[in-house]
Structure 1
Amino acid sequence: MADEIWTNELREFVELKPRRSLASEAADNLREFIMLGKLAPGMPVRERDLASAFGISRTPLKEALRILESEGLIVYGPTRRPFVADPSLREINDWLRVQGALEALAGELACGAATDAELDEIARINASIKEARDADGQLEAFRRDMTFHEAIVAASGNAALRETHASYNARLWRVRFLSSQRLAGREATRREHLEIVEALKARDVSAARRALTQHLRTAETNIAAAMAEATEQEGA
């Protein structure tokens, strides 16, 4: 995407959002722009252009880029120029396997620690995913999908687990959003979500761990397929 095109598009995108603190707002908007594929993996990120698009100075912008660097979405080259991260499939799979272990542990802990109200909320969020896809589109459905997983981790009652999971989740948002747009595998994902909810509500530790582990394995397969399809489209 040409610099002028994407900076103008980003400026319009930002103007639609409510104002927050400068650095956090810039990080949130840039994260979502990366997730939507508006800034392609490996693309250089020019700080001056970004600052102009956001209407902020370079200082809060640098802070926003540091936030995204900590999440693995921005990387710096030898000359300290920022780029959109372009992790290999092997790196992504490594992150997914760690995230799978974290979510399996969260499910196990949630079976004992979660309140009935928390488990009801997890079930409600899951039911709202398809509704959001039908009414509001794929992006909102994806947000609720991620909220579903975050709610399970929160229900574990383990703050350290929640913090670690958030770090890996941020790294995986772009590829998980990409895979969520595939029709193939969507029914399997929906079925796995129901199995997770049922295991949690039954407070069945073994079933919850098994269902969450399988769900991340399915995500691994879907992400690999989505990345292969994206590469084919770029080469077409």
Structure 2
Amino acid sequence: MTDTAWTNELRNFVDLKPRQSLAADAANNLREFILLGKLAPGMPVRERDLAEAFGISRTPLKEALRILETEGLIVYGPTRRPRVADPSLDEINDWLRVQGALEALAGELACANATDAQIKQIEQINTAIKEARDTQGQLEAFRMDMRFHEAIVAASGNAALAETHATYNARLWRVRFLSSQRKASRDATRNEHKDIVAALKARDTAAARAALTNHLRTAEVNIAAAVREMENTKEAK
């Protein structure tokens, strides 16, 4: 893709998005481009082209890059030039294990602290995942999947847990999106979600912890498989 075509694609994408603050809006667009692979792992971030595509100056763009740096999505080399992070599978697995512990704790706390309305909402979001996949596509289904997990964390009532979870969630979004594209894992994921919802509705703390722990272990296996498949595809080209 030429530089002009790449910039035009970014501009067209941004024109479809609702505006927030300049930096937050740019950070959201960049995050989604990384998620979709439009900005590939290890790719240099061309600040001038991005600022032009977003219709902003480089000051809010730099602020957006700093936001993504704190999320582990952007890294800076010795020359302070930004590029898209390219974590190893070992790093990803480390993050997943922390995320698993956080979500297991969130499940326990949600059993004790969640309102009936919050648990009903979690169940409704889970139902909406398949509906989104059938009617709106994989990206929207993935967003709903992430909302399912975020709703469980929110129902824990623990702000510190929610803040930490959001940080790891941002780092793992891209690989979890890749994992969600694997048809082979979808039935298992749906069944695990049903187990999580059932445990929350029963307010069974042990079952909720076990179901969420198992779910993140499955994610670890699926992500490793997705990364291998992606690497095999690159080698075949």
TM-score by length of 1: 0.99
> Is 1:190 aligned with 2:184?
no
The one-character-per-residue Cα deviations of 1:64-113 (angstroms, maximum 9, x if unpaired) are 00000000000001100000000000000000000000000000000000
Shift of 1:216: 0.2
Aligned AA (1:59): T
Shift of 1:151: 0.2
1:58-97 equivalences under 5 Å are 58-97=58-97
> Separation in 1 of the partners of 2:160 and 2:98?
14
Number of the residue aligned with 2:34? 34
1:39-188 equivalences under 5 Å are 39-188=39-188
> Separation in 1 of the partners of 2:127 and 2:230?
29
Classify the secondary structure of the residue corresponding to 2:75.
strand
Shift of 1:192: 0.1
How many residue pairs get matched? Answer: 236
Shift of 1:5: 2.9
> Separation in 1 of the partners of 2:78 and 2:9?
29
TM-score by length of 2: 0.98
The one-character-per-residue Cα deviations of 1:192-220 (angstroms, maximum 9, x if unpaired) are 00000000000000000000000000000
> Separation in 2 of the partners of 1:108 and 1:13?
40
Classify the secondary structure of the residue corresponding to 1:95.
helix
> Is 1:206 aligned with 2:206?
yes
> Separation in 2 of the partners of 1:96 and 1:36?
20
Classify the secondary structure of the residue corresponding to 2:127.
helix
The one-character-per-residue Cα deviations of 1:105-144 (angstroms, maximum 9, x if unpaired) are 0000000000111000000000000000000000000000
Shift of 1:178: 0.7
Shift of 1:235: 1.2
Number of the residue aligned with 2:219? 219
Number of the residue aligned with 1:21? 21
Classify the secondary structure of the residue corresponding to 1:83.
strand
